[in-house]
Protein backbone atom coordinates (compact mmCIF):
# COMPACT_ATOMS: atom_id res chain seq x y z
CA UNK A 1 0.00 0.00 0.00
CA UNK A 2 1.27 3.45 -0.93
CA UNK A 3 -0.20 6.91 -0.43
CA UNK A 4 0.86 9.43 -3.07
CA UNK A 5 0.27 13.15 -2.58
CA UNK A 6 0.41 14.48 -6.13
CA UNK A 7 0.63 18.25 -6.57
CA UNK A 8 1.06 20.63 -9.44
CA UNK A 9 3.76 23.29 -9.08
CA UNK A 10 2.91 26.78 -7.85
CA UNK A 11 2.14 29.73 -10.08
CA UNK A 12 4.85 31.11 -12.38
CA UNK A 13 4.98 34.33 -14.33
CA UNK A 14 4.10 32.37 -17.46
CA UNK A 15 0.98 30.96 -15.77
CA UNK A 16 -0.05 34.44 -14.70
CA UNK A 17 0.41 35.86 -18.20
CA UNK A 18 -1.26 32.94 -20.03
CA UNK A 19 1.88 31.79 -21.84
CA UNK A 20 2.61 28.18 -22.76
CA UNK A 21 5.47 26.73 -20.71
CA UNK A 22 6.38 23.15 -21.39
CA UNK A 23 9.33 20.91 -20.81
CA UNK A 24 11.64 23.29 -22.63
CA UNK A 25 11.00 26.36 -20.45
CA UNK A 26 12.50 26.21 -16.97
CA UNK A 27 10.61 29.01 -15.21
CA UNK A 28 10.59 29.88 -11.51
CA UNK A 29 7.72 30.54 -9.13
CA UNK A 30 6.42 34.10 -8.90
CA UNK A 31 5.33 35.74 -5.62
CA UNK A 32 1.94 34.04 -5.71
CA UNK A 33 3.53 30.66 -6.37
CA UNK A 34 5.83 31.11 -3.37
CA UNK A 35 2.80 31.90 -1.18
CA UNK A 36 1.01 28.83 -2.53
CA UNK A 37 4.02 26.64 -1.75
CA UNK A 38 4.17 27.97 1.81
CA UNK A 39 0.42 27.44 2.29
CA UNK A 40 0.69 23.84 1.13
CA UNK A 41 3.64 23.27 3.44
CA UNK A 42 1.80 24.65 6.46
CA UNK A 43 -1.19 22.38 5.74
CA UNK A 44 0.79 19.19 5.12
CA UNK A 45 4.06 19.56 7.05
CA UNK A 46 2.97 16.97 9.61
CA UNK A 47 2.43 14.23 7.03
CA UNK A 48 5.25 11.67 7.51
CA UNK A 49 6.53 11.67 3.93
CA UNK A 50 9.14 9.02 3.25
CA UNK A 51 10.31 10.55 -0.04
CA UNK A 52 9.74 13.49 -2.36
CA UNK A 53 9.87 13.23 -6.14
CA UNK A 54 9.90 16.20 -8.50
CA UNK A 55 10.39 16.70 -12.21
CA UNK A 56 13.75 17.99 -13.44
CA UNK A 57 12.33 21.53 -13.79
CA UNK A 58 13.03 23.98 -10.99
CA UNK A 59 9.46 25.17 -10.51
CA UNK A 60 8.54 21.77 -9.06
CA UNK A 61 11.42 21.66 -6.61
CA UNK A 62 10.69 25.24 -5.52
CA UNK A 63 7.10 24.22 -4.78
CA UNK A 64 8.16 21.63 -2.20
CA UNK A 65 11.42 23.20 -1.01
CA UNK A 66 10.19 23.62 2.58
CA UNK A 67 9.69 19.85 2.87
CA UNK A 68 13.15 19.27 1.39
CA UNK A 69 14.61 21.71 3.90
CA UNK A 70 13.05 19.60 6.65
CA UNK A 71 15.38 16.80 5.57
CA UNK A 72 12.96 14.59 3.67
CA UNK A 73 14.89 12.69 0.96
CA UNK A 74 14.09 13.84 -2.56
CA UNK A 75 14.86 12.91 -6.12
CA UNK A 76 14.25 14.56 -9.49
CA UNK A 77 12.96 12.35 -12.30
CA UNK A 78 12.86 13.66 -15.91
CA UNK A 79 10.00 11.24 -16.55
CA UNK A 80 7.80 13.58 -14.48
CA UNK A 81 8.59 16.61 -16.66
CA UNK A 82 5.86 18.61 -18.36
CA UNK A 83 4.95 17.70 -21.92
CA UNK A 84 6.99 19.45 -24.57
CA UNK A 85 4.79 21.84 -26.50
CA UNK A 86 7.49 22.24 -29.15
CA UNK A 87 7.35 25.42 -31.18
CA UNK A 88 4.29 26.64 -29.24
CA UNK A 89 6.27 27.12 -26.04
CA UNK A 90 6.59 30.77 -25.10
CA UNK A 91 3.45 31.77 -27.01
CA UNK A 92 0.16 32.97 -25.53
CA UNK A 93 -2.70 30.50 -25.13
CA UNK A 94 -4.87 32.85 -27.19
CA UNK A 95 -6.43 31.05 -30.16
CA UNK A 96 -5.45 33.97 -32.37
CA UNK A 97 -1.78 33.67 -31.43
CA UNK A 98 -1.45 29.92 -30.94
CA UNK A 99 -3.65 28.01 -33.35
CA UNK A 100 -1.28 25.01 -33.23
CA UNK A 101 -1.93 24.62 -29.50
CA UNK A 102 -5.73 24.62 -29.82
CA UNK A 103 -5.64 22.36 -32.87
CA UNK A 104 -3.53 19.89 -30.92
CA UNK A 105 -5.90 19.84 -27.94
CA UNK A 106 -8.78 19.14 -30.33
CA UNK A 107 -6.86 16.27 -31.93
CA UNK A 108 -6.25 14.72 -28.51
CA UNK A 109 -9.88 15.12 -27.45
CA UNK A 110 -10.86 13.33 -30.65
CA UNK A 111 -8.62 10.39 -29.77
CA UNK A 112 -5.53 11.18 -31.87
CA UNK A 113 -3.13 10.83 -28.93
CA UNK A 114 -0.08 10.33 -31.15
CA UNK A 115 -0.48 13.88 -32.52
CA UNK A 116 2.19 16.36 -31.48
CA UNK A 117 3.18 19.94 -32.18
CA UNK A 118 6.33 20.29 -34.27
CA UNK A 119 9.39 19.58 -32.09
CA UNK A 120 7.08 18.58 -29.24
CA UNK A 121 5.72 15.43 -27.60
CA UNK A 122 2.48 13.50 -27.88
CA UNK A 123 0.54 12.14 -24.88
CA UNK A 124 1.82 8.68 -25.79
CA UNK A 125 5.41 9.96 -25.66
CA UNK A 126 4.79 11.41 -22.20
CA UNK A 127 3.02 8.27 -20.97
CA UNK A 128 6.00 6.18 -22.01
CA UNK A 129 8.49 8.14 -19.92
CA UNK A 130 6.01 8.45 -17.05
CA UNK A 131 5.67 4.68 -16.87
CA UNK A 132 9.40 4.37 -16.34
CA UNK A 133 9.27 6.95 -13.54
CA UNK A 134 6.25 5.37 -11.83
CA UNK A 135 7.73 1.88 -12.04
CA UNK A 136 10.84 3.24 -10.37
CA UNK A 137 8.82 4.92 -7.59
CA UNK A 138 6.72 1.81 -6.96
CA UNK A 139 9.84 -0.35 -6.77
CA UNK A 140 10.91 1.44 -3.57
CA UNK A 141 9.42 -0.88 -0.97
CA UNK A 142 10.29 1.32 2.03
CA UNK A 143 8.63 4.45 0.61
CA UNK A 144 4.97 4.25 1.59
CA UNK A 145 3.95 7.91 1.89
CA UNK A 146 5.19 9.92 -1.07
CA UNK A 147 4.98 13.54 -2.21
CA UNK A 148 5.20 14.06 -5.98
CA UNK A 149 5.33 17.50 -7.62
CA UNK A 150 4.91 17.84 -11.37
CA UNK A 151 2.99 19.76 -14.06
CA UNK A 152 -0.56 20.34 -15.27
CA UNK A 153 -0.74 18.57 -18.62
CA UNK A 154 1.62 15.85 -17.43
CA UNK A 155 -0.65 15.30 -14.40
CA UNK A 156 -3.67 14.89 -16.64
CA UNK A 157 -1.87 12.28 -18.69
CA UNK A 158 -0.60 10.49 -15.59
CA UNK A 159 -3.95 10.41 -13.81
CA UNK A 160 -5.66 9.11 -16.95
CA UNK A 161 -3.55 6.02 -17.40
CA UNK A 162 -3.07 5.33 -13.69
CA UNK A 163 -6.86 5.09 -13.32
CA UNK A 164 -7.28 3.09 -16.55
CA UNK A 165 -8.96 5.89 -18.48
CA UNK A 166 -8.29 6.69 -22.13
CA UNK A 167 -5.83 9.52 -22.71
CA UNK A 168 -8.36 11.32 -24.91
CA UNK A 169 -10.39 11.96 -21.74
CA UNK A 170 -7.48 13.50 -19.81
CA UNK A 171 -9.16 16.91 -19.57
CA UNK A 172 -11.61 15.40 -17.06
CA UNK A 173 -8.83 15.80 -14.49
CA UNK A 174 -9.06 19.47 -13.54
CA UNK A 175 -6.11 21.19 -11.94
CA UNK A 176 -4.83 24.53 -10.70
CA UNK A 177 -1.49 25.72 -9.40
CA UNK A 178 -0.55 23.83 -6.22
CA UNK A 179 -3.69 21.68 -6.35
CA UNK A 180 -3.58 18.26 -4.66
CA UNK A 181 -4.63 14.82 -5.83
CA UNK A 182 -4.26 12.17 -3.14
CA UNK A 183 -3.83 8.69 -4.60
CA UNK A 184 -3.85 5.28 -3.02
CA UNK A 185 -2.07 2.27 -4.52
CA UNK A 186 -3.07 -1.15 -3.19
CA UNK A 187 -0.37 -3.13 -4.98
CA UNK A 188 -2.27 -3.46 -8.24
CA UNK A 189 -4.63 -0.51 -8.75
CA UNK A 190 -4.73 3.23 -8.08
CA UNK A 191 -7.69 5.10 -6.61
CA UNK A 192 -8.19 8.82 -5.99
CA UNK A 193 -9.05 9.94 -2.45
CA UNK A 194 -8.76 13.70 -3.05
CA UNK A 195 -9.51 15.31 -6.42
CA UNK A 196 -8.05 18.70 -7.35
CA UNK A 197 -8.15 19.77 -3.71
CA UNK A 198 -7.27 23.42 -3.12
CA UNK A 199 -8.60 23.97 0.42
CA UNK A 200 -5.09 24.79 1.62
CA UNK A 201 -5.08 27.81 -0.72
CA UNK A 202 -8.35 29.36 0.47
CA UNK A 203 -6.62 32.35 2.06
CA UNK A 204 -4.23 33.05 -0.84
CA UNK A 205 -4.93 36.07 -3.04
CA UNK A 206 -3.98 34.67 -6.45
CA UNK A 207 -4.40 38.00 -8.20
CA UNK A 208 -1.28 39.57 -6.68
Question: Alpha helix (H) ranges present in 50-202?
Answer: 58-63, 65-69, 99-109, 123-138, 152-162
Give me the mean pLDDT over the 63-71 stretch.
98
Find out whether 92 and 113 touch, Cβ atoms under 8 Å: no
Residues belonging to the chain: 208
Q: What is residue 21's DSSP assignment?
A: -
* Residues contacting 189, CB < 8 A, separation 6+: 164
CA distance linking residue 202 with residue 40, whole number of Å: 11
Q: What percent of the chain has pLDDT over 90?
A: 89
pLDDT digits (tens, 9 = 90+) for 80-108: 999 999 999 998 887 666 788 889 999 99
CA gap 2, 190 in Å, rounded = 9
Q: What is the pLDDT of residue 97?
A: 62
Range of lowest pLDDT (88-102, 141-155, 182-196): 88-102
CATH architecture for the domain at 2-201:
3-Layer(aba) Sandwich (3.40)
* Burial track 96-110 (b if 16+ CB lie within 10 A, e otherwise): eebebbeebeebbee
pLDDT at 57 over 70: yes
Lowest mean pLDDT across 35-49, 83-97, 127-141: 83-97
Q: pTM, whole model, 2 decimals? A: 0.94
Amino acid sequence: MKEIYLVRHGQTGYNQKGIVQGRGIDTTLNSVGIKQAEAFYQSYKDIPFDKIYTSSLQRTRQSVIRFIEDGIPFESLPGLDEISWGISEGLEYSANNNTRYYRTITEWNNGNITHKIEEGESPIDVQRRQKEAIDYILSKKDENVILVCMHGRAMRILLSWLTNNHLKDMDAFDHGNLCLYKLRYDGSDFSIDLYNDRAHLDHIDERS
